[in-house]
Amino acid sequence: MNDCCHFQDQGGIFIGDNVLIGHNTVLATIDHDLDPQSRQNHYAPIHIGNNVWIGASIVITKGVSIGENAVIAAGAVVTKDVPANTVVGGVPAKIIRQLPVLQMEVVSPQPEGRRLLY
């Protein structure tokens, strides 16, 4: 995690493993009604999957889930869920491209040296 990040976490923030978070990132789990007569707080969690790269100066709003291996381009405002293995960017963020799904070879204790591929 870089410097000058702001995490407003009343709704809950869940961050996976090996996540890169660029400077000036804002995670905002709260929102308000537009109607001034009923301007109440609304909370929802933010979920960030494993191996996500969040660029600099990004805003992620309440209720968003970011899938594993996703990349969020610098300056994006993320208001909707981001699928795994995608690059998103813009205001509001949209899918720019799909990333190849990498297969990782995991050696597990299997009989006769068999290996499981995930």
- Residues annotated catalytic, as ranges: 32
**10 contacts 46 by C-beta, under 8 angstroms:** no
At 82, is the secondary structure helix, strand, or coil? strand
What is the helix, strand, coil percentage profile of the chain, to 5? 5, 35, 60
Q: What is the largest CA-CA distance in the chain?
A: 69
Q: What is the dihedral of CA 33, 39, 43, 47, to 10 degrees?
A: 40
Q: For residues 75 and 111, give the distance between their C-alpha atoms in angstroms, rounded to a whole number.
A: 49
